[in-house]
């Protein structure tokens, strides 16, 4: 019988090519017309520790990985110990017999990964290729098909192919075609990560310059955009610190460039003063905040939603802030372009809040670049005897002009008059406060005309969630055969309270990755809707859909 849902886990040490194996497995499944979700788990170590990739695929759209696997390839003992209980009924463990000497492994296929790899240069790097060879044999791929995959996905093709053939021959007698995977004639969709989706979405929206100091899990945006800067015709800079990054971004934006920065919580904390500079100077900057567990250094390479309150309140003083959070890679693509446009229109700082789970996981997407918004600020077209950078307008938005110009263009961090000249006049201070407040009001009116909340499902109990946890919830409902309505606010500041009026008389379940229930508190504060129950996870790992489905059933 052909399998609808199939999960593959490859595990090993950092530097063994395990994360690459996850990406290649996703490529193999995609070429079969299947839909894929890949999640990578790794410690904050350059070498050693434990890495693993979980790749779940199905013939239908899939929105989460599953931790119960049909095939596990453990290239070291630690991987075996960690994943021996992650097998489904009928699952098979392929293990490194060099690391498990004289041990009898039930449902196991022993292979001398280490011994075979030592025949080749960079032997440790080969182990991930061995995991792919075992997968290929298990799903009935021919040697020729495996060879083509390795040639297209790996460097040093000759050695990798030869090593893969040895592993294939070693496992084939016990493993060949054990799993018959159902293929699909559906359109082959590309797999991308959340960081790639955000990066390409921003470029599609008109991004000119990206500034970032690397900090996990936001670093992949810097890596990706730097690697494709010429392709995208944008500037990319890695300055000496996060403080330098955002101040450079504000400087570039004041010259008319559409700019973006990214960091995790600790780096964004360093940027906080500049958020207020953006608010006072009314300079548009888009910030990408990739959440990981905190406080402080926390657990650098894992995921959490503990930065929600932090994101909502970035910067001191009162000024309009825009915060939005995508639930999937596709939404991340479109939202990045939309947010770039929003900060340009309202001349303020915006935060696209997401998590390590979305930034680094990969899934199939069907993206139409033509549907993205091009960022377009309100520009000065003349009419004033002298250009008023901070002109008092009905909606609080002052038309922009950028150097070089015959007019004087002044951006300032000090309270100012319409020209941008510093002032301590109580009347002008009040007028400028009111001007920025009118921008907030105009922003809310704009959001009322936009799609700010996703609602999935039409009947059943109500579940509130946000960000990438939404994918986990939707997959849990599918695998648990649960009918429910899932409500996910895309915009979190200003919060779209008008969309929640219809739920005033209901008592939802709130699902989030937070120990203190920050999202649940936000919902109650903004809408006065009190949750009847909450499901929280805060161990740095995303929800497993089967476990989450059981938790939802228990609550219901």
Phi-psi region of 402 (alpha: psi -120 to 50; beta: other; left: phi over 0): beta
Give how far Cα 419 sits from Cα of 285, 385, 402, 404, Å: 22, 11, 14, 17
Rounded to a whole number of angstroms, the distance between the first and last alpha carbons of the chain is: 34
Q: Find where tokens 């995508």 sit.
A: 326
Residue 186 lies in a domain: no
Q: What 8-state DSSP symbol labels residue 46?
A: S
Q: How far apart are CA 260 and CA 349, in angstroms?
A: 10
Whether residue 302 sits in one domain with residue 218: yes
**Strand order through the sheet with 235-237:** 235-237, 209-212, 259-263, 285-291, 349-355, 322-324, 491-493
Residue 183 lies in a domain: no
Give how far Cα 420 sits from Cα of 28, 71, 209, 416, Å: 58, 64, 25, 5
Residue 211: CATH number of its domain = 3.40.50.970
Whether residue 355 sits in one domain with residue 298: yes
In the three-class reduction of DSSP (H, G, I as helix; E, B as strand; rest coil), residue 367 is classed as coil
Which of these three, 352, 371, 390, is where a domain ends? 371
Q: How far apart are CA 367 and CA 23, in angstroms?
A: 20
- Least confident range from 19-28, 40-49, 143-152, 432-441: namely 40-49
**Per residue in 297-314, pLDDT tens?**
999 999 999 999 999 999
Residue 457: CATH number of its domain = 3.40.50.920
Q: Count how many residues are written for the chain.
A: 556
pLDDT on residue 1: 56
Residue 252: is its pLDDT beyond 90? yes
Residue 291: is its pLDDT beyond 70? yes
Residue 78 lies in a domain: yes
What lies within 8 Å, CB to CB, of 367 at 6+ separation is 197, 200, 330, 333, 334
Mean pLDDT across the chain: 96
Residue 290: is its pLDDT beyond 90? yes
Q: How far apart are CA 500 and CA 489, in angstroms?
A: 9
Q: What 8-state DSSP symbol labels residue 494?
A: S
Q: What share of the chain has pLDDT > 70, as a percent?
A: 100
Q: How many C-beta atoms surround the C-beta of residue 536 within 10 A?
A: 17
Which of these three, 450, 470, 497, is where a domain ends? 450
Q: How many domains would you assign to the chain? A: 4
Residue-wise over 493-512: b if at least 16 C-beta within 10 A, else e?
A: bbbbeebbeebeeeebbbbb
Whether residue 517 sits in one domain with residue 488: yes
Short-list 453, 192, 513, CA closest to 325: 453
Whether residue 332 sits in one domain with residue 203: yes
Enclosing domain of residue 549: 453-555
Q: What 8-state DSSP symbol labels residue 190?
A: P
Residue 391: is its pLDDT beyond 80? yes
Whether residue 529 sits in one domain with residue 501: yes
pLDDT band at 384 (very low <50, low <70, confident <90, very high): confident
Residue 196: is its pLDDT beyond 90? yes
pLDDT on residue 171: 97
Residue 187: is its pLDDT beyond 90? no
Positive or negative: CA dihedral 472, 63, 308, 486:
negative
Residue 185 lies in a domain: no
Element at 287 (helix H, strand E)? strand 285-291
Q: What share of the chain has pLDDT > 90, as a percent?
A: 92
Residue 80 lies in a domain: yes
Whether residue 382 sits in one domain with residue 302: no
pLDDT band at 228 (very low <50, low <70, confident <90, very high): very high
Residue 103: is its pLDDT beyond 90? no
My answer on whether omega of the bond before 217 falls inside 30° of 0, hence cis, is yes
Whether residue 229 sits in one domain with residue 91: no
Whether residue 105 sits in one domain with residue 142: yes
pLDDT on residue 312: 98
Burial (0-12, 13-18, 19+ Cβ within 10 Å), 481: exposed
Query: Which is higher by pLDDT, 383 or 400?
Result: 400
Which of these three, 329, 355, 371, is where a domain ends? 371
Whether residue 289 sits in one domain with residue 343: yes
Cβ(415)–Cβ(429) under 8 Å? yes
Mean pLDDT of 393-419: 95
Q: How far apart are CA 556 and CA 553, in angstroms?
A: 5
Residue 46: is its pLDDT beyond 90? no
pLDDT on residue 23: 96
Q: Find where tokens 């600790």 sit.
A: 266
Whether residue 259 sits in one domain with residue 128: no
In the three-class reduction of DSSP (H, G, I as helix; E, B as strand; rest coil), residue 167 is classed as helix
Mean pLDDT of 13-18: 92
Residue 122: CATH number of its domain = 3.40.920.10
Mean pLDDT of 49-54: 93
Whether residue 270 sits in one domain with residue 244: yes
Whether residue 146 sits in one domain with residue 13: yes
Residue 184 lies in a domain: no
Residue 489 lies in a domain: yes
Cβ(18)–Cβ(54) under 8 Å? no
Residue 180 lies in a domain: no
């Amino acid at each position: 019988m052909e399998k609808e849902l199939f999960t593959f886990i490859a595990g090993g040490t950092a530097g063994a090519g395990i994360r690459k194996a996850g990406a290649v497995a996703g490529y193999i499944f995609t070429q079969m017309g299947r839909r894929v979700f890949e999640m990578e788990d790794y410690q904050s170590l350059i070498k050693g520790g434990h890495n693993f990739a979980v790749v779940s695929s199905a013939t239908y759209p899939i929105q989460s990985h599953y931790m119960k696997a049909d095939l596990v390839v453990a290239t070291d003992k630690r991987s075996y110990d960690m994943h021996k209980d992650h097998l489904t009924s009928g699952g098979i463990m392929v293990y490194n017999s060099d690391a498990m000497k004289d041990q009898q492994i039930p449902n196991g296929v022993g292979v001398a990964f280490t011994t075979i790899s030592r025949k080749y240069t960079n032997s440790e790097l080969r182990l991930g290729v061995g995991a792919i060879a075992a997968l290929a044999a298990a799903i009935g791929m021919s040697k020729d098909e495996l060879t083509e995959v390795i040639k297209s996905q790996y460097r040093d093709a000759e050695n990798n192919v030869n090593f893969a053939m040895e592993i294939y021959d070693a496992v084939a007698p016990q493993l060949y075609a054990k799993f018959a995977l159902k293929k699909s004639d559906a359109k082959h969709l590309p797999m991308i990560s959340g960081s790639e989706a955000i990066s390409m979405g921003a470029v599609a929206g008109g991004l000119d310059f990206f500034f970032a100091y690397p900090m996990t899990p936001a670093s992949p945006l810097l890596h990706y955009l730097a690697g494709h800067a010429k392709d995208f015709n944008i500037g990319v800079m890695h300055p000496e610190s996060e403080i330098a990054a955002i101040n450079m971004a504000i400087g570039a934006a004041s010259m008319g460039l559409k700019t973006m920065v990214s960091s995790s919580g600790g780096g964004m904390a360093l940027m906080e003063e500049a958020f207020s500079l953006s608010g006072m100077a009314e300079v548009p900057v888009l910030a990408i905040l990739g959440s990981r567990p905190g406080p402080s250094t926390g657990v650098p390479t894992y995921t959490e939603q503990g930065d929600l309150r932090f994101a909502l309140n970035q910067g001191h003083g009162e000024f309009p802030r825009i915060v939005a959070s995508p639930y999937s890679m596709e939404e991340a693509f479109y939202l990045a372009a939309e947010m770039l446009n929003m900060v340009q229109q309202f001349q303020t700082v915006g935060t696209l809040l997401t998590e390590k789970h979305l930034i680094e996981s990969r899934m199939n997407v069907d993206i139409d670049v033509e549907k993205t918004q091009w960022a377009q600020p309100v520009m000065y077209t003349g009419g004033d005897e002298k250009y008023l950078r901070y002109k008092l307008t009905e909606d609080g938005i002052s038309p922009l002009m950028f150097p070089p110009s015959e007019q004087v263009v002044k951006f300032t961090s000090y309270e100012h008059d319409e020209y941008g000249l510093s002032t301590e006049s109580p009347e002008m201070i009040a007028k400028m406060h009111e001007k920025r407040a009118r921008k907030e009001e105009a922003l809310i009116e704009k959001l009322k005309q936009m799609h700010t909340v996703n609602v999935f499902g039409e009947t059943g109990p109500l579940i509130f969630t946000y960000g990438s946890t939404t994918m986990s919830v939707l997959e849990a409902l599918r695998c648990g055969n649960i009918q429910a309505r899932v409500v996910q606010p895309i915009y979190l500041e200003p919060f779209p309270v008008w969309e929640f009026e219809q739920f005033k008389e209901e008592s939802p379940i709130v699902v989030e990755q937070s120990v203190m229930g920050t999202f649940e508190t936000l919902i109650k504060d903004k809408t006065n809707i009190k949750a009847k129950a909450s499901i929280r996870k805060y161990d740095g790992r995303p929800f497993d859909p089967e476990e989450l489905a059981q938790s939802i059933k228990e609550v219901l």
